[in-house]
Amino acid sequence: MSEQRDQFSSKIGFILAAAGSAVGIGNLVGFPVAATKNGGGAFLIIYALFVAFICIPVMLAEMGLGRRAQKSPLGSYKALSPNNKGWHIAGILAVITPFMIAVFYMVITVWIFGYLWHSIMGNLDMLANPEYFSQFVNDYGFVGFLVAVTIIINVILIGGVRQGIEKAAKFLMPALFIMLILLVIFVLSLDNAVLGLEFYLVPDFSKIDGSVINGALAQAFFSLSLGMGILITYGSYFSRRDDIVTSGKLVALTDTAVAFTAGLMTLPAIFAINPNTDPDALSDSSVSMIFSFFPQIFIALEGVVGYVGASIAATVFFLLTFIAAITSLVSILEVPTAAVIEQAKISRKKALLFMGIAVTILTLIAATSFGFVPAFTEFTFYADTPKSVFDVIYDVFYDTILPLNGLLICLFVSFHWRRKNLDTELAEGNPGYPNTLLAKYVRLSICTFIPLILAAVFINTVLTKFFAISIF
């Protein structure tokens, strides 16, 4: 019999918590820029199709797997394949991946908190200096911001599922939505904002090629936190009467809506300041956009709303991105924390202490790999390029391993756990599910073309990232 676990108290609690994990800084900045550079409305259509026809089946498989086993990703693979040790490796990978992504995400979250602090203190002119970011990332002040972020995250996680993650999500996610809408209204009121809307929304199918399609799938897959073990872990916090299918669809809808709405803020803001902006010249990096580009946008608003007004707008933006980062980071860290509690059979407080020490040490190493410590800055070399510790973490775990983890989920369901067991699990809380078109589609897709697509993405990513070779 499965051990008693903490559970979400309501469907809305899970939806907000899962949406919090999915809505990150990539949604707010990276997604709108990627859409604009890759066909605008055409990219949006392709992205939405991938969410509906590829991501939702994988999402339901992860959530169903977690609820059936009532354990972390590692515990789930072990419980559902007790006589097949090979699948335990997939479970270990599903725990290590979010742990390492948490290190990368922690670095960026601390940077965001630092910029939020300076915005509140009225230092927008300093943030807008093109040379400031390179100084900021190599400043000892990082440690103070790291301590503050660590405390915030652990205060949330120490409360567990209901009193920590769910309660925080119920406050933070509505706050995020409200601030996003306020910023959209403000930006759309500016002159020339409509130019940004045209680039963002008007389809340009001539830009669609293999790389754009691959990028849209990657964005959809990563955006919904697939392959990170989050949805397996959150699925284990569902009760037997909860409707996983409806909840999963609502999470996908919420995440997509936030990403789309963020585009109504990002692109109009850019064009309001510079109507002659070339979308193709915009950086693909969310980090570059947040810390180098947006402060310059806000300082340029000084002539319209004054320095105080521009500082308030910047503060709201960085608070928005900080909340998005925190909600994602809490979900990411819950995966290895749950695994440590389960496997080591220790209390949540002890597990969080262990996790806090490990993540903090690795975060300091990654954060000092931007020139502060030469050995970490030129840590290794591949694809004809020197790579820092931060680069390696991003390339290996964020870009490469996620589609592999998704592929392993599909293979596990197809060849070990079996589709009928997934059907039975998803029918809990939704008795009519097995007879729906969605059920038939999930059964077909998760065993045929979805694994093939994820395998192709994984192989192409490995070749591109580490050997500078692209097959499509």
Q: At what angle do helices 210-223 and 402-412 cross, to 10 degrees?
A: 70
| Cα gap 351→329, rounded to integer Å | 16
What percent of the chain clears pLDDT 70, i.e. is strictly above it? Answer: 99
CATH number at residue 281: 1.10.4160
- Domain extent for 354: 11-379
318 within some domain: yes
Using a 10 angstrom Cβ sphere, with 0-12 exposed, 13-18 middle and 19 or more buried, the burial of residue 309 is: middle
pLDDT band at 5 (very low <50, low <70, confident <90, very high): low
**If we measure between CA atoms, which residue out of 301, 267, 285, 371 comes closest to residue 128?**
301
Decide if pLDDT at 266 tops 60. yes
Residue 227 identity (one-letter amino acid): G
In a domain, 26, yes or no: yes
Residue 277 pLDDT grade (very low, low, confident, very high; cuts 50, 70, 90):
confident
Over residues 52-70, mean pLDDT: 94
Contact 405, 228 (CB under 8 A): yes
pLDDT class for 4, splitting at 50, 70, 90? low
Kindly give, in sequence order, each residue whose CB lies less than 8 Å from that of residue 103, ignoring residues fewer than 6 positions away. Answer: 359, 362, 363, 366, 393
Average pLDDT over residues 43-52: 91
Q: What is the mean pLDDT of residues 255-273?
A: 87
Lowest mean pLDDT among 33-42, 175-184, 390-399: 33-42
CA atoms within 13 A of residue 214's CA, in its CB half-sphere = 17
Strand partners, 381: 386
The residue among 110 and 30 whose pLDDT is bigger is 110
Percent of the chain with pLDDT over 90: 54
Mean pLDDT across 409-435: 92
| Domain assignment present for 455 | no
Residue 2, domain member (yes or no): no
How many other CB atoms are found less than 10 A from the CB of residue 21?
27
Please, what's the b/e burial string for 378-417 (b: 16 or more CB within 10 A of its CB; e: otherwise)? ebeeeeeeebbbbbbbbbbbbebbbbbbbbbbbbbbbeeb
**The predicted structure's pLDDT at residue 3:** 43
- Given a cut of 70, whether residue 62 has pLDDT beyond it is yes
Residue 384 lies in a domain: no
d(CA 14, CA 297): 36
What single letter denotes the amino acid at residue 261?
T
Q: Express each pLDDT in 204-217 by its tens digit.
A: 888 888 778 877 88
Q: Where are the beta strands (DSSP E) in 37-181?
A: none
Q: Would you say 355 and 330 are in contact if contact means Cβ atoms under 8 Å apart? A: no
Place of tokens 């899962």: 18
- pLDDT at res. 33: 80
Residue 342 in any domain: the answer is: yes
For residue 470, is pLDDT > 80? Answer: no
Q: Which amino acid is at 9?
A: S
What is the structure's pLDDT at 1? 35
Geometric angle at alpha carbon 87, from 82 and 92, rounded to 5°: 110
- Of 415, 410, 420, 413, nearest in space to 449 by CA: 410
pLDDT surpassing 90 at residue 402 = no
Structure-token pair, residue 20? 């919090």
The pLDDT confidence band at residue 386, using thresholds 50, 70 and 90, is very high
Number of domains within the chain: 1
CA distance 192 to 344: 58
- The token pair at 107 is 């670095």
Which pLDDT score is estimated for 173? 87
* Residue found under tokens 């064009």: 271
Classify residue 204: in a domain, yes or no.
yes
Q: Name the average pLDDT for the chain.
A: 89
Both tokens assigned to 165: 């993650």
Is 446 within a domain?
Answer: no
Asked whether residue 16 carries a pLDDT value surpassing 70, the answer given is: yes
Q: Quick one: tokens of 2?
A: 């499965």
Instruction: Tell me the H-state helices in 121-209.
Output: 124-127, 132-136, 142-157, 167-188, 193-201
Q: pLDDT-derived band of residue 17, with 50, 70 and 90 as boundaries?
A: confident
User: Average of pLDDT values for 40-61?
Assistant: 92
Q: Which one, of 224, 302, 291, 229, lies nearest residue 66 by Cα?
A: 229
| pLDDT class of 239 with cuts at 50, 70, 90 | confident
Identify the residue whose tokens are 């202490």: 353
